[in-house]
Copies of this chain bind each other. A is one copy, B any other.
Amino acid sequence: MELQEAKNEFIQAWGTFGSEWGINRTMAQIHALLLVSAESLSTEDIMEQLDVSRGNVNMNTRELIAWGIVYRVTKKGERREFFEAEKDIYKVAIKIMKERRKRELGPVLETLNELKQIKSSDKESKEFKRVISDISAFGESTDKMIERMIKADENWFTGSLMRFLTK
């Protein structure tokens, strides 16, 4: 298999994987492209290689930068900006967890906490409260776990925690 062919296959696979997890396909593809590019790429480069529009590249690179997994880099003597992916996959994973925790887990936990306040005199209300509290407790634990991972030494993944988890 050619290198270029392999790269393209990876870009496809990463795009599919991303969209299965609620991440827009092009965003995941741009991320994949940057991951496997030796050099940093310009907007124009990305447009060409993925055959998408300027607006689309602009939108998604900004989003990737907001997630903290792609960096803007400048080159001397160049007006244009270039993009480069964070290649440390553990850092990438942590940044993604951090971002999704903030954007999606946070809001749902807030809602659950409000709903837990409902007065529960009758049996049905008590049952409702129990279900909500269970989910909330689970969510809080997950949240704490992510928080821990984020705060942990960047070697957490190869450290004792991970060895324990993955045998």
- Using a CB–CB distance below 8 Å, which chain A residues touch chain B? 1, 3, 6-7, 9-10, 13-14, 16-17, 19-22, 35-36, 38, 87, 89-90, 93, 103-104, 107-108, 111-112, 114-115, 117-118, 122-125, 127-128, 131-132, 134-135, 138, 141, 144-145, 148, 157, 161-162, 164-167
Contact = CB atoms under 8 A, between A and B. Distances in A.
Contacts of A87: 131, 134
Say whether chain A's binding surface is mostly helix, strand, loop, or mixed: helix
Nearest to A136: B89
Count this chain's copies in the assembly.
2
A34 to B, nearest CB: 10
A138 B161 contact: no
Given A20-B104, A21-B104, A108-B13, A6 B138 contact: no
